[in-house]
Amino acid sequence: MVANSFVLAGDICYSTSPTQVSCTRDGYLVCIDGVSAGVFETLPDAYASLPRLDCTGQLIVPGMSDIHLHAPQYAFRGIGMDLELIDWLDSHAFPEEAHYADLAYAERAYGIFVEDLKRSATTRAVVFATLHVPATELLMDKLEQTGLITYVGKVNMDRNSPDDLRETREESARATRVWAERTAGRYARTRPIITPRFTPSVSDPLMADLAAIREEFDLPVQSHLSENLSEIDWVRELCPWSSCYADAYGHFGLLGPQTIMAHCVHSGDEEIELLRASGTYVAHCPQSNAYLASGIAPARRYLECGVNMGLGTDIAGGASLSMFRCMADAVAASKLRWRLVDQSLAPLTAQEAFWLATVGGGSFFGQVGSFAPGYDLDALVLDDAGIRTPHELGIWERVERYIYLAEEGGAIARKFVAGRVVI
């Protein structure tokens, strides 16, 4: 195996809408030059001569897009989860990120992160690095070698940050421009993304500089928005001119369909309308929002309003790198929100969470997250035999169970990104 054209044979499941899945038992998923030619019950003659990978009895589902996580924070995930955002940044995230000034440390820490991401269910990711350009390029080099498709951001911070994790406005803008020039065309699968950490860390003049760099290099943007109530109060003080937190980015032209805003837990009507009208993506990070006690984002409302949305693990605000766990958490959080906060917003179903993890986040990358003809062929072959039961289950029931029980006996047997073998 395997050239970029091949056939996967097995039990195939993918979302055709947020509320519907297509399931084919003993079906054939055809990949031509890295792109899906569709799913067939009987293999058409035209594809009979292609190499075939027999995954009979295993599940074949689209790859997952993790549209928000912090690579340097992988080193301390699962530690210090009993704080709220600002204290957690000061006591855990910032001190860890300062270590990435040391390339030897970055080599070790990013080596572990990249190996684990490669083995995970994630096929595409949108990643924060740190403000250090050499370590960020090292991360990009390592990710490129995995075959995953990623966006990676050199982080910008010129205020309200510790001395060893702060640049001046001039240094930050200059370093970002040089880094964008060096990396924008360097890789096949790895791209730079402009990354103002969040408004409290980025002065208005630097925000304007970053908007100009983004324009010049035609780059996407990622940041954080309305995650925590103290953070929102702080932004109101820092940007008294803004009509809402999202406006503190939108004012500089930083919202749009190539922008991801992580969290959006406490966004009000005006902010949601800004997100919707601009096509900005929300990265819904249910585990992080629970562990940092930020709250429960109104994911159902975003779906109903037509706000673009995908899922994020937000390592290390979230502890788990698993997109299956992320889907399960999205469902659980929405049920608590419905029961305890707002019964006008129905909980998410497992099918909706599956759609968010595949098509919802995948669409940030283009035609990604489905097996419909024309989509990039990102696929996971899942072995669910170890999640034992005496029952004969339907294909969707097996996928649903895998979402909740992946860590208890599930195994990712193969992984493909744009038709390329990753594992």
Q: Which is nearer to ligand GUN, 93 or 138 (CB)?
A: 93
> Given its phi and psi angles, is residue 418 left (phi above 0), alpha (psi -120 to 50 degrees) or beta?
left
The one of Fe ion, ligand GUN, none whose footprint includes residue 93, by CB under 5 to 8 A per kind, is ligand GUN
Question: H/E element holding 115?
Answer: helix 103-119
Query: Which residue's structure tokens are 């020039």?
Result: 181
Nearer to ligand GUN, 224 or 414 (CB): 224
Nearer to ligand GUN, 61 or 109 (CB): 109
Draw the binding track, 377-406, toward ligand GUN (x: CB under 6 A; -: no contact).
------------------------------
Cβ-contact 317, 285 below 8 angstroms: yes
Give the residue nearest to ligand GUN (CB).
317
CA dist 301 and 69 (Å) reads 23
- Out of Fe ion, ligand GUN, none, what residue 321 binds, judged by CB under 5 to 8 A for its kind, is none
Contact 12, 39 (CB under 8 A): yes
The residues in 179-198 that bind ligand GUN, with binding defined as CB under 6 A, are 197-198
The SS3 call for residue 127 is: strand
Sign of the alpha-carbon torsion through 119, 125, 128, 130? positive
Closest distance of CB 413 from ligand GUN, Å: 32
Asked, as a colleague might, if the bond just before 357 is cis with ω within 30 of 0, I would say no
User: Which is nearest to 227 in space by CA: 255, 251, 199, 196?
Assistant: 199
**Which of the ranges 85-93, 132-140, 158-166, 326-334 carries the binding residues for ligand GUN, by CB under 6 A?**
85-93
The count of residues interacting with ligand GUN (CB under 6 A) is 11
Closer to ligand GUN by CB, 198 or 371: give it.
198
Name the amino acid, one letter, at 234: W
Positions touching Fe ion (CB under 5 A) are 262, 314
Binding residue for ligand GUN, selected from 60, 70, 121, 375, defined by CB under 6 A = 70
Q: Are 327 and 353 in contact (CB under 8 A)?
A: yes
- Binding ligand GUN by CB under 6 A: which of 288, 308, 358, 363? 288
Kindly tell me which of 99 and 415 has the beta carbon lying closer to ligand GUN.
99
What is each CA distance from 29 to 14, 252, 379, in whole angstroms?
Answer: 11, 44, 10
> x/- contact string, 293-322, with ligand GUN (CB under 6 A)?
---------------------x--x-----
Tokens describing residue 45: 């003659």
Please give the structure tokens belonging to residue 186: 């360097």
Strand segments, DSSP code E, in 288-389 are 308-311, 379-383
Confirm or reject binding of residue 226 to ligand GUN (CB under 6 A): no
In the complex with ligand GUN, the residue whose CB is nearer, 153 or 317, is 317
Q: Residue 158 binds what, of Fe ion, ligand GUN, none (CB under 5 to 8 Å, by partner type)?
A: none
Token match 């912090």: residue?
70
Asked if residue 329 binds ligand GUN (CB under 6 A), the reply is no
Query: Does 227 contact ligand GUN by CB under 6 A?
Result: yes
Q: Kindly state the tokens that stand for 50.
A: 């292609």
Name which of residues 96 to 135 contact ligand GUN (CB under 6 A): none
Q: Contact positions toward ligand GUN, by CB under 6 A? A: 70, 85, 89, 93, 197-198, 224, 227, 288, 314, 317
